[in-house]
Homo-oligomer: A and B are copies of this chain.
Amino acid sequence: MDKEKRKELEEKGFQIGSAAEFLGLTPEEEAFIEIRLELSSLIKSRRNKLGWTQQQLATAIGSSQSRIAKMEAGDSGITLDLMIKTLLKLGVSKQEIGKLLEGNLEMV
């Protein structure tokens, strides 16, 4: 089952609802985490594609390298707001973000 997955998520700091503690994540919890992971994944691949370091990206959005690292690691304690702002700064359009969530974006 998802014991391994859950352990991984909890290490990243996610708080899993008690009802899901033994029965697995609710579909909503799953979808929410999927969205986060897909966004962070796109951040990493787009940054690499542009050849930027984490420090360069951090400066571009007025943040710090450590925060970029946490974003790309899918860590909790990072808001979707920060991820979306970062993606936009990387040149990813609203439409591309939409495609990503639909499952229609090849991230290269």
Known: A79-B80, A81-B79. A35 touches B94 (CB 8 A): yes
- Bound: A31/B91 CA distance, A: 11
> Are B31 and A93 interface neighbours, CB within 8 A?
yes
- Bound: A89/B79 CA distance, A: 18
Number of interface residues of A (CB under 8 A): 24
Selected from B28, B93, B99, the residue in CB contact (under 8 A) with A98 is B99
> Which of A2-10, A40-48, A100-108 is the interface stretch?
A100-108
- Bound: A8/B66 CA distance, A: 35
Selected from B31, B80, B85, B98, the residue in CB contact (under 8 A) with A102 is B98
Most buried by B among A27, A28, A84, A89: A28
- Indicate whether A22 reaches chain B with its CB closer than 8 angstroms: no
> Chain A: residues with CB nearer than 8 A to chain B?
27-28, 31-32, 34-35, 79-81, 84-85, 88-89, 93-95, 97-104
Question: What are 25 A-B pairs with beta-carbon distances under 8 A?
Answer: A27-B88, A28-B85, A28-B88, A31-B88, A31-B93, A32-B85, A32-B88, A34-B94, A35-B97, A79-B79, A79-B80, A79-B81, A80-B80, A80-B81, A81-B81, A94-B102, A95-B102, A95-B103, A97-B101, A98-B98, A98-B99, A98-B100, A98-B101, A98-B102, A101-B101
